[in-house]
Chains A and B, each alone.
Chain A
Amino acid sequence: MKRTLVIAELDHGVLKPCTHAAVAAARRAAELAGGTFEILLLGPGAGTASGALLNFGAAALHVAEHPELAEPLADRYAVAVAHVARGRGTDFLIAAASTFSKDLLPRVAGLLDAGMLSDVVEIGADSSGPLFKRVLHAGNAIATVILEGPVRVATLRAAAFPPAPRLESTAPVLAVDLSGLAWPDGTSFVARDRKTSARPDATEARIVVSGGRGIKTSEDFERLVGGLADALGGAVGSSRALVDAGITANSLQIGQTGKVVAPDLYIAVGISGAIQHIAGMKDTKVIVAINKDPDAPIFEVADLGLVADVYQAVPEMIERLQRR
């Protein structure tokens, strides 16, 4: 971990906040190993986005813009990332865990013949070298792991690495030379069905209101879960049950196989609290559960519980919150 490379995440040219967590983790890794770290930004707008990362202690920012990188296709991005990693002598590659990095980084690991850890929550060391902690078994176990080999790869949980403070120094910005690379052409981008929402993304919000099967229709979800989120200035999320029922979009799913969130406040509305759901929200500071079943497992993890019908309780909550 003498030469760490952070893979920044961009959403159509805009830096995603989770990148700051990866930068904080890289700083930690560099400190532990007495090394340095660099940041790689890929795709359209990478140059402009690099402006937001100039003062966080990176030895350099690498900007990879190329027509082949117009859409974040793992096949092509992996070729570019492996090219930079080889050229820079990178021995540790990291990114914040997301569908972008989970698609890309294992492919890079395959190209570099590197071992990889997903969902790292702690980077430490003992006399024999670096040690990592990661979450597995739907959050029911935390493993302490050694990762061997000349190159290591990891994704990390953003909530476990608070953003590092800004520094005085400014990193140089370098353009990556991608000429002469053989670009794979086996995948092609067709479309993206973007869910546009005025609400923040659940992974980036301080408050998340999440709905489960206790909510019967999309209109009810919008009125109750959406309405409560808006009254609190928060984001919305949902259980898998509502996604499966076609009531919410897949991008809202919280849990073992959805997004993992750790906000200050999480309000579970009509969610039973299956382990797969809890895996995605149990590092929240304050969990509130509203459920009509007093024995629902969600109450075992809730700080504040209310046994009630959400169709009665939530409208009253919204009304009281708006009363101020």
Chain B
Amino acid sequence: MKILVPIKRVPDSDTRIRVKPDGSGIVTDGVKFSLNPFDAIALEEALRIRERLGAAEVLAVTLGGEDSIEQLRTGLAMGADRALLVRTPGPLDSLAVARILAALVRKESPDLVLLGKQAIDDDSNQVGQMLGGMLGLPQATFVSKLEFQPDGRSVRCGRETDAGIETLGVRLPAVITADLRLNEPRYVSLPGIMKAKKRPIEELSPEALGVTAASRTRVLRLEAPAGRKAGVRLRTVEELVARLRDGAGLT
């Protein structure tokens, strides 16, 4: 069993994101970067599958530059067997990421691709599904429960949908994206990180995979959303109900 887990470096979920005054991007000075929380969950699930099955290879891969190696090290410290950096210039959109991953899947032939359902920076929620479409692989998105079937060749997934939990049977190889409640990722210790520093990081380029990293979306500028006006504090429930009765400014 081989499990491929694509991961992404993103601003930590605890940072307050601010848009640069010139709109060219977000302020990154002093911002802490982390492994995208959903990707940590996907990786954790891959590690648990390995623990359950006894034998499996977990390959963490990221697309990006030098700084993304930090997140690969986190992946190794969590327990990934291999870490791979596909060096890409500048930001890529989901389609470009999916194309590169599709080429990597053809090369590595994993039984399962486990991804986070969305990256908390661009909030796109696309890569897993695009990859599934490109490769014609079965897909289950927003998965909060994953169980291997006795045959070992299929899984049962609980998906979080707007209407409630949907359960699907999914034949491997497949693409599965993780939702928040799938698991709670293990804590990575400092000694673990130190040990991971000595492990090798494999490297590839899109060219070596036979793909060009061309994005179809281009961000022209960013702006901060309109702020909300400061409101009023009421002292009693009576006042609040009176305001609601008045329509609370509703028309």
Contact = CB atoms under 8 A, between A and B. Distances in A.
A135 B232 CA distance: 28
Interface string B204-231: 0000000000011111111111001111
Contacts of B241: 317, 320-321
Interface stretch (A35-43, A50-58, A249-257): A249-257
Q: Looking at chain B, what size class is its interface with the partner chain?
A: 35 or more
Interface string A272-287: 0001100000100111
A201 B162 CA distance: 9
Given A141-B19, A144-B220, A194 B237 contact: no
8 contacts: A102-B142, A106-B128, A137-B122, A142-B223, A144-B220, A190-B156, A265-B248, A288-B248
A243 B164 contact: no
Interface of B: 11, 13, 16-19, 26, 93-95, 98, 117-118, 120-134, 136-142, 144, 156, 159-171, 174, 179-181, 215-225, 228-238, 240-241, 243-244, 248-250
Q: Looking at chain A, what size class is its interface with the partner chain?
A: 35 or more
Given A140-B225, A187-B170, A265-B250, A305 B95 contact: no
A86 B123 CA distance: 28
Contacts, number: 270
Given A102-B141, A195-B164, A203-B162, 6 more contacts: A78-B133, A106-B127, A116-B130, A304-B248, A306-B233, A317-B241
Contact of A190 (B11, B93, B167, B231): B167
B249 A74 contact: no
Interface stretch (A23-31, A62-70, A219-227, A295-303): A295-303
Contacts of A287: 228, 231
A157 to B, nearest CB: 12
Interface in A115-158: 115-119, 131, 135-149
B137 A304 contact: no
A75 interface: yes
